[in-house]
Structure 1
Amino acid sequence: MNAHIVKLEETPDGGDMQALVKGLTAYNAAQANGETPNYLVATVKDDGGKLVGGLLGATYLGWLQIQVVWLDDSVRGLGYGSELMAIAEREALRRGVQNAFVETLSFQALPFYEKLGYTVFSRLADFPPGGARYALTKKLEG
């Protein structure tokens, strides 16, 4: 019998972290007829080419998952967030995807996503303490 050691890694190795993600991705692909996430990135850059915002998402298993939306303080409130979301949603539709979901924390962007037509389907209280974590969905139409 082989002995295995299970322990908490105080300073995780980047290679181990990548191997964990790779292993889960391979397992999921085997269960999903070989489908893996198809990533999309949309960016906002200033005149000098400096990144001041963007969106990271993926289409997978018939859904668009919005994973990261970030805008520098200097460009918030100027419509770039809505533009990034519209780009991602159009690309998802182009890829044949008709549903989207996103998660956000109470101190982040709940009203922003609701304004764009996303509907809360889950609320996890006290994540972070005193706040909440929300999951939202939207039926994409084009």
Structure 2
Amino acid sequence: MTAEQQHPGAAPLTLRTGGQDEALEELLDHELTAFNGAACGAGTPKEFSVRVDDAAGEPVGGLTGWTWGGLCAVHLLWVREDVRGDGWGSRLMRAAEEEGVRRGCTDMVVSTYTFQAPEFYLKLGFRETGRTPGVPGGHADVSFHKVIGT
């Protein structure tokens, strides 16, 4: 789908909607990272991961996140169903927090859906900071924050 609009004295602009656009995603990431870094002097986000493997070297759990400007953010956290309840989620989160502190972070954030693990994050000392009701599919997206390194 495309739409064109003419600005006075400028070439026409085209608006397109489509599927995943890796080149656009890379451009947006680069431009927003530069803008954000300039706005607060925090440089570039640094990604990290924490992984748990079984004896065969297969992943049974993992976490991805990033640190930037004193903030440690958890992006994704997953633990394989057969080892859920064995404490691996907590260990992964502690390792992420330790990595954040090692990188100079003072705050940690994560979000989850109400059908996932909001109680888990509360037990780890996070406090709810926001909720978007009704999404996805009648559930809610819940945001959490925790002060770390103190």
Same fold (TM over 0.5): yes
Alignment match, 1:48: 56
- State the alpha-carbon separation in 2 of the partners of residues 106 and 83 from structure 1: 21
The question of whether the paired residues in 1 share the 8 Å contact of 2:33 and 2:44 is answered with yes
AA of the residue aligned to 2:49? V
Once the two structures are superposed, residues 58-101 of structure 1 have per-residue CA deviations (whole angstroms, 9 ceiling, x without a partner) of: 11111111111011112211111100100111111122211111
Q: Match for 2:11 among 2, 6, 28?
A: 2
Q: CA deviation at 1:115?
A: 0.6
SS in 1 for 2:35: helix
Q: Which runs of 5+ in 2 are unaligned?
A: 1-9
- State the alpha-carbon separation in 2 of the partners of residues 79 and 56 from structure 1: 18
Mapped pair 1:39 → 2:47:
yes
Q: CA deviation at 1:20?
A: 2.1
The total of aligned residue pairs comes to 141
Once the two structures are superposed, residues 13-59 of structure 1 have per-residue CA deviations (whole angstroms, 9 ceiling, x without a partner) of: 32222222222222222223251111111001111111221011111
**Which structure has the higher relative contact order (CA within 8 Å, separation 6+)?**
1
Q: Match for 1:88 among 77, 96, 107?
A: 96
Q: Superposed, which structure 2 residues align to 1:100-119 within 5 Å?
A: 100-119=108-127
Q: Match for 1:61 among 53, 65, 69?
A: 69
- State the alpha-carbon separation in 1 of the partners of residues 131 and 144 from structure 2: 9
The question of whether the paired residues in 1 share the 8 Å contact of 2:105 and 2:149 is answered with no
- State the alpha-carbon separation in 2 of the partners of residues 117 and 56 from structure 1: 19
AA of the residue aligned to 1:111? E
Larger Rg: 2
AA of the residue aligned to 1:8? T
Alignment match, 1:20: 28
AA of the residue aligned to 1:82? S
SS in 2 for 1:85: helix
- State the alpha-carbon separation in 2 of the partners of residues 109 and 119 from structure 1: 13
Task: Provide the TM-score with structure 2 as the length reference.
Answer: 0.86
- State the alpha-carbon separation in 1 of the partners of residues 81 and 17 from structure 2: 37
The sequence identity of aligned pairs, in percent, is 35
